[in-house]
Amino acid sequence: MATPVTPRGLICSLALVPNPENPSVYQGLESLIARLQPAVAGLFLDPMFWCPSANCCGPASSSLLEEAIGLAPPDLPLWVRITGSSAEQTIHICHQLENVCRRLKYRGPLAWVDTPLFYHSNRGLPEYYRSLLGDMEFNLIVDNDPQLIRKIRDTTKRKNIRTAVLKKLVQEPRLVGLVHRGDLRRGINYQRAVRSRSGFLVYDGRESNFLKRPSASGVISVGANLLPYEWRTITLASLNLEDGHCGQPSSFRHLWEAGQRVRTLQKHYKQAPDRIIPAVLAAWGLISAKSDGLTHDEQRATKTILEHLPEPYTFGT
């Protein structure tokens, strides 16, 4: 049976740190993917989250996609950011990336991820997506991310997808999931809006929401770059999915320890995860990013995390 592109469980937003001398090349992909792939249900290539400044943010590049396909196991779901600055650019990016897949003859589990309100209003969104999806080879996951819109394009326009619009969007069979990064109440409304669509999954895009009230689908985690097996443990437990520790006398101790580590680190990196997590990975020697651009508070948070975890930790050891 083919691996579903929207599995229930842990999706890690892979830390993407550009090389200062060549921003189209990302540091440490091979070591990061090798470390993460046994623990995660999927990887999300999202340069927009990890970009160092609003001026150099963008979607996944053809070279990034090609490298990730070459490094990841063929059955590991890949989610890839295609959001451009306009509808026309987003369509162009999608075509470019699908050309890469054709050239590589890649038919693995892959989905494009788009934050439509970054460049499009709620008005006319179902019609736009109907046209976009009709010209795609791979499925699409819609991303509701008001924080991204504030970070890069701080306007007064609506920053959340309207529930009535989402009800229309889920009628498109090629739209297979939603990542929600907003408040819990809106997330509950979204869950109700998609009930009519069997197999449509709504993921928590905000770690704190998942830790407070887990969705039934899974979580998009940036912290899994630091603690992949701990995030896996608490995600599987929250979703009542089978885990290798189940049935063992020590399973509750493992779960408690995992939760403690995840919450402790999340408390320290949550102020700026796109800057603090790469700084920790660099201190571990997994990438070569410099930390001299961190603020005083970010430096202190990085130091505190390294005091808890002076080196990459293998859960259960």
**φ/ψ of residue 308, rounded to 5:** -75, -40
* 41, part of any domain: yes
pLDDT, residue 54, reads 55
Please name which of 238, 303, 302, 292 lies closest in space to residue 270, comparing C-alpha atoms.
Answer: 302
* 259, part of any domain: no
pTM of the prediction? 0.93
Q: Tokens representing 267?
A: 């408390």
What does the alpha-carbon distance between residue 225 and residue 239 come to, in Å, rounded to a whole number? 20
pLDDT, residue 312, reads 87
* 34, part of any domain: yes
* 280, part of any domain: no
The DSSP string of 167-221 is: HHHTTSTTEEEEEE-S-HHHHHHHHHHTTTSTT-EEEE-SHHHHHHS--SSEEEE
* 316, part of any domain: no
What does the alpha-carbon distance between residue 138 and residue 135 come to, in Å, rounded to a whole number? 9
Residue ranges making up the domain that contains 71 = 9-248
> Which residues on neighbouring strands pair with residue 219, listed in sequence order?
10, 204
Task: Pick left, alpha or beta for residue 122 (phi over 0 → left; psi -120 to 50 → alpha; otherwise beta).
Answer: alpha
Helices (H) then strands (E): counts for the chain: 13, 10
* 150, part of any domain: yes
Task: State which H helix or E strand residue 165 sits in.
Answer: helix 163-169
pLDDT, residue 193, reads 93
What does the alpha-carbon distance between residue 222 and residue 228 come to, in Å, rounded to a whole number? 10
Number of domains in the chain: 1
Please name which of 260, 268, 261, 251 lies closest in space to residue 305, comparing C-alpha atoms.
Answer: 268
The two beta strands, 22-26 and 218-221, are unpaired
- Please report, in tens digits, the pLDDT of each residue of the chain (317 residues total): 578 999 999 999 999 988 877 777 888 999 999 999 999 999 999 999 998 665 556 789 999 999 999 999 999 999 999 999 999 999 999 999 999 999 999 998 999 999 999 999 999 999 999 999 998 999 999 999 988 887 766 665 788 999 999 999 999 999 999 999 988 889 999 999 999 898 999 999 999 999 988 888 999 999 999 999 999 999 999 998 765 444 454 578 888 889 999 999 999 999 999 999 999 999 999 998 666 689 999 999 999 999 999 988 765 54
CB 56 within 8 A of CB 90: no
- Domain of 36: which CATH number? 3.20.20.70
* 135, part of any domain: yes
The three-state secondary structure class of 146 is helix
User: What's the 3-state SS for 33-71?
Assistant: HHHHCCCCCEEEECHHHHCCCHHHCCCCCHHHHHHHHHH
* 267, part of any domain: no
Dihedral angle computed from the Cα positions of residues 154, 157, 159 and 162, in that order, rounded to the nearest 10 degrees: -170
Per the document, the length of the chain is 317
